Amino acid sequence: MTEKSVTLNDIAKRLNYSTVTISKALRNHPDISPQTTKLIKSVAEEMGYTPNIMARNLSARRSNTIGVVVPKIAHFFFSAIIESIYDYAFNHNYEIILTVSQENAEREKRHIQTLLAMKVDGIIVSISQETKNYEIFETVRRRGVPLVFMDRIPAIENINTVQVNDREGAFKAIEHAIKLGYRNIAHFAGYSDINIGRERYYGFKDAMDQYNIPIKPEWVVAGEFGENHGYDGLMELHRQNNLPDLIFTVTYPVALGVYMAARELNLKIPDDIDVICFGNAKVQNFLSPPLSCVDQPTNLLASESMEILLENINSADGFEPRNIQIPTELILRGTCRKFNKE
């Protein structure tokens, strides 16, 4: 019934060759004559041979596998990125081991340990919203495993990073809003431990400062990156009877949370309260109203990360860490557009 999988040895015996010859032939090693190679391949095929990747990796001391750690996947931003990563990996003959931290630092750490134990050739990580201890990344470095941080980046030196220009992106959004006439602007921000929380806030602040608009502390509310933050945030401001005219949210899910709360409170977007967010999702076009945002090119984030990682993997030694910044673009839709206010 359960047929035992055929090994190099099985083929060797059948053909009266050594396993080495078989192994080489199957990998097109020039040692082996074309005819023999052909013969061996056809027999392998016929016998239904599949290499045992565990064994191969163990022996070859490289796995052709890349580990990925992301905080979430059921959000457009990450699922789009992951899809691109898979694509890139497929085209370059790499396997991906994807792990999900669920925004939990402990879990993130365990995942990275597992990836190390699996002897992945390199790791791409987007840190969780609560990651504050960076020891594990030191461990990775000491092990000599190439590492690229993408989008969510810890504050440590000498690392590969691929990110969007968060500060500039946020600045553009707020500047646009100000030019539209907005003054009462709130920011539902991320925590400042994490780059995207910090930088997007700075971008917001840059713009407000530049146009001499005072920032109301109660209107800068730091929190997580999910719907809850947006929902709770708006609910709270409403309870305080302290609503701004516009809310700039640190991520798209936070904006969705604002939409939820607004519906519940019977606030009309964008008339009663307007929204603009960082991060783009195809569906935002079809929200009611369509949501304006700062676009982050997910495919570029993914491909740049992979590219740098593979370079690092394939550069014997002394690879200089690279830091890539990808420009953002402001996409205007139903919210935060002048004509809505006319």
Partner DNA sequence: CTGAAAGCGCTAACAT
Partner DNA sequence: ATGTTAGCGCTTTCAG
Footprint on this chain of a second copy (rule: CB under 8 A): 1-3, 5, 48, 50-55, 57-58, 63, 72-76, 79-80, 82-83, 86-87, 90, 95-100, 102, 107, 113-114, 116-119, 139, 142-144, 256, 259-260, 263, 282-283, 285-290, 317
> Measured between alpha carbons, how far is 87 from 287 in angstroms, rounded to an integer?
29
Q: How far is the CB of 218 from a second copy (least distance, A)?
A: 26
Q: How far is the CB of 24 from DNA (least distance, A)?
A: 6
By CB under 7 A, tell whether 9 contacts DNA. Answer: yes
* Sequence-distant contacts of 112-117: CB under 8 A, at least 24 apart: 112/67, 112/69, 112/136, 112/137, 112/139, 112/140, 115/67, 115/69, 116/140, 116/143, 116/145
Q: What is the DSSP letter of 6?
A: P
When CB distances are held under 5 to 8 angstroms depending on the partner's kind, the choice from a second copy, DNA, none that residue 241 binds is none
The item of DNA, a second copy, none sharing an interface with residue 26, based on CB under 5 to 8 Å by kind, is DNA
Q: Which of 74, 212 has the CB closer to a second copy?
A: 74
243 class by beta-carbon count within 10 Å (0-12 exposed, 13-18 middle, 19+ buried): middle
Positions 57 through 76 that interact with DNA (CB under 7 A): 58-61
Q: x-or-dash pattern for DNA, window 19-48, by CB under 7 A?
A: xxx-xx-xx--xxxxx-x------------
User: Binds 34, which of DNA, a second copy, none (CB < 5 to 8 A, cut-off by type)?
Assistant: DNA
Structure tokens at 145: 């495993």
| Closest of 184, 186, 78 to residue 128, by C-alpha | 78
To the nearest whole angstrom, how small is the minimum distance from the Cβ of residue 231 to a second copy?
12
Would you give the DSSP letter of residue 216? P
| Min separation Cβ 43 and DNA, Å | 13
221 binds DNA (CB under 7 A): no
| 228 touching DNA, by CB under 7 A | no
**Cβ contacts of residue 302 below 8 Å, gap of 6+?**
81, 82, 84, 85, 87, 88, 150
Nearest CB to DNA, comparing residues 31 and 46: 31
Tell me the β-bridge partners of 122: 66
How far apart, in whole angstroms, are the C-alpha atoms of residue 211 and residue 215? Answer: 11
